[in-house]
Amino acid sequence: MKRLLKSAFLHVRLPIRRGPNRGRWWSITTGRNYFRDRFVPGKAACLPQLVRPGDVVWDIGSHLGYTALIESGCAGAAGRVFAFEPNPRNRHLLELHLRWNDARNATVLPYAMSGADGEMSFGWEESQRASSIASHLGGTGWKVPVRHVDGLIAAGVAPAPHFLKIDVEGAEVDLLRGAANLLASGAPLTIVLSTHTEALHDTCCAILRDAGFTIVETAAVAIARREGWAALGDVDLLAWRPATHVNEAAQEAFRRIGRAG
């Protein structure tokens, strides 16, 4: 019944009330948090300080498009946003939100992103916040195409990003390993990465530091180390190359992000 009601009201929209997406149209079926700036509010507030006009943005694990809309507005007409979402139910809403808000610089891609090309079984849960990859391998959902970052760039599917937002629910280490050429290229690049266990977080930090990136962790990382990652679900880190300027105000705002994300 709940799913039937959601389907019936899927195309009913209202403007978001608060936050960096204020005034943009959003489906009423997605929950109140999006309308009240309670969906990753700290990270969302930092994006306008990190994405610049003309940037190429890859939003990997775009879910319903909340961060992609912010990035689209920041990148502007001269920029491009590539929103990756393998879950077809999420992707339908993602496409609606981008279309309703005239995000003409945004392109939706149906790929799960990992360390190599292939195919995987992808499960889905009604209550989960975002698309899950690693935790649903071998599930009873559907088959989705898997791609890796370096392969898509080499094939010309999308140009190399200036800004990379990653939320892949446990596949973050594999994804970074599939972006080895990009990470080693020395080109300007800023990354906002969600990690889902302490081991994954520490491995991601090691990969990025070895590639020459500076890293800032949110305050939520210290909380997760004390209380366990499961208490928060995921936490975020910000990484950038020396060739990329991330101002002190943006760094400090990112450090202050707490439990709410």
The token duo for 131 is 């698309």
**Residue 26 · residue 9 · CB < 8 Å:** no
Reading the block at residue 14, the tokens are: 């209202």
Domain that holds residue 112: 38-255
- On average, the pLDDT of the chain sits at 91
Lowest mean pLDDT among 22-26, 56-60, 216-220, 232-236: 232-236
Considering its fold, how many domains does the chain have in total? 1
Higher pLDDT, 167 or 132: 167
The 8-class DSSP code of residue 18 comes to S
pLDDT tens-place string over residues 27-45: 999 999 999 999 999 999 9
Percentage of the chain lying above the pLDDT 70 cut: 90
The answer to whether residue 186 is domain-embedded is yes
The backbone region for 40, taken as left when phi is positive above 0, alpha when psi lies in -120 to 50, beta otherwise, is left
Q: Provide the pairing of β-strand 112-113 with 106-109.
A: unpaired
The verdict on residue 237 lying in a domain is: yes
CA distance 149 to 62: 15
pLDDT in tens, 107-146: 999 999 999 999 888 765 544 444 444 444 445 567 899 9
Structure tokens at 160: 């190399």
Q: Is residue 10 part of a domain?
A: no
SS3 content of the chain, % helix, strand, coil (to 5): 40, 20, 40
The answer to whether position 61 is within a domain reads yes
The domain spanning residue 73 has which CATH number?
3.40.50.150
The pairing of beta strand 80-84 with beta strand 106-109: parallel
> Quick one: pLDDT band at residue 3, thresholds 50, 70, 90?
low
Name the DSSP class of 159: P
pLDDT at residue 126, rounded to an integer: 47
